[in-house]
Amino acid sequence: MRLKITKLPNFNKKAQLFASKAPFYVAVLFIIALLLLLFTFLILRKGSANIATPKNLEAFIFTQRFINSPLCFSASQGEFSYLFNTIDIEKFNQATLDKCYSVEDKSKFKEKTVKAFSLTLKDIKNKREIALSTKNWDDSALITKTTKEIGIYDKGKLSKGILVIETQNVK
């Protein structure tokens, strides 16, 4: 009996093809991995600088609260109609400021330092000036001063005014 030897199919041609290109693929994967790491590093480094909040953002938010909140000094025409960037002169008093920004209970604040504010309203038309400050205001501490042109609502009449906001970090 004679065995007939047939030629077996050559299954290793693809393997031989991959084996010859394997160093190329390894090098490409290494370069791609390095590029991904570099890209991630650049995003983390530059991205965090873009996300950083401005220094006076907290003071700006409180300023907007004082001017535009119906619980603070915002002027209203009716129950649901409020005038943007307009202060009601009758609401601009120490009692409203204490109700609007209370510093009595410091346990509510996450930070150890609490912003202190001094607000000076200058009515240009009537040539009067009203100054208020929060209970934690310290005359000797460093201040940041900003001014804002606003409207003043006084018994149904509107006039122009300037609000000077002084801010300080107080413990």
The β-bridge partners of 157 are 154
Tens of pLDDT, residues 32-80 = 999 999 998 888 877 666 666 676 777 778 788 888 888 888 888 777 6
In a 10 Å sphere around its CB, with 0-12 CB exposed, 13-18 middle and 19+ buried, how is residue 83 labelled? middle
The residue assigned the tokens 């300080």 is 168
Longest dimension (CA), the chain: 127
* Model confidence at 16: pLDDT above 70: no
> 5 or 138: which carries more pLDDT confidence?
138
- pLDDT given for residue 31 in this prediction: 96
Does the CA dihedral 39-44-49-54 come out positive or negative?
positive
Residue 149, token pair as written in the block: 């042109």
Tens of pLDDT, residues 132-171 = 988 888 887 777 888 889 999 888 888 899 999 888 876 6
